[in-house]
Amino acid sequence: MAHSMFADFAALPESVVAEAIYLVRSRGYAAVPGFYPASVREQLKSELAAALAAYSPFPGSERSEQDRYHIHDLMNRSHVFSQMTEDPRLQQLLAPLLGESWIMYAFTSSSLPPGGTNYGARLHNDCPRFSPGYIFNVGLIWALDEFGEENGGTQVLPGSQHIEAAPDEQSFNKHCVRVTAPAGALIVFNARLFHRAGENRTSSWRHALTMNVCRSYMKPRMDWVRLIKPEYTANLSPQARRILGFDTRLATTMDEFFLPEQERLYKPGQG
């Protein structure tokens, strides 16, 4: 497999990381502009457009019809998506919020078609668990296109991650703000933050990639170790393999349980 371009990104300045962490902990979200250059965005958009074109809803599944603009198995569509987990800047931004051994819960897309929206337009948050001052899940949104007023952006209710009860529609509409960001930005947010996708009023698609990450002791949405094609994961960096769950696998036989320490499936120190 070709060398991953994502592993070579330079570290973010500490001031950028500190500001992002502060904003996520306080108002619930932060945007880091310039996270991906145009060349990377265009490659990801090309792969995403191909996945959207090839998608067919599962017969008899209403959810698969609702999710037609959310591709849940992107990491099986191209090696480039699994390689995104090699980016060292993710560890900078997420370890202070979730601990050093955080893992991936879900990875999907969020595309708004011209003149339309997607299932993310409902008022919701991405983490049902509530414990004051403790973050279980963090969301990431890579803006492959500009997030603007006309093409939808994302509406959020600042500070709503601090409240257990969900806001009603009227209260959300009154106090929400629209998160706008230039193409290439990364939006980081507490997954308990209430939000919704906007409406794309333009004649062009608005593409984004989203990831939900969680504490290492939590179960991911899918068994990524078994789901993703081995040829896409075999040569990933240790960080990437940890994120996908290779360090938190469970023994299925006593032979696996009694493997030498360095070969154990569930690595020590995973939180």
Strands (DSSP E) found in the chain: 29-32, 103-109, 137-143, 154-156, 177-179, 186-190, 195-197, 208-214
Among 239, 126, 243, residue whose Cα is nearest residue 187:
126
Q: For residue 162, with 0-12 CB atoms within 10 Å meaning exposed, 13-18 middle and 19 or more buried, which class applies?
A: middle
Rounded-to-integer distance, Cα 233 and Cα 225, Å: 8
Asked if the model's pLDDT at residue 57 lies above 60, the reply is: yes
Domains annotated on the chain, with CATH: 6-263 (2.60.120.620)
Asked if the model's pLDDT at residue 213 lies above 60, the reply is: yes
Which residue, chain included where needed, has tokens 């980016």? 87
Give the global pTM.
Answer: 0.94
Measure the CA angle with vertex 142, ends 150 and 85; round to 5°. Answer: 170
In eight-state DSSP terms, residue 151 is S
% of the chain residues with pLDDT over 90:
89
Dump pLDDT digits (tens) for 156-166. 999 999 999 99
Among 138, 98, 131, 130, residue whose Cα is nearest residue 271:
98
Asked if the model's pLDDT at residue 1 lies above 50, the reply is: no
Instruction: Tell me which of 200 and 270 has the higher pLDDT.
Output: 200
Average pLDDT over residues 184-204: 96
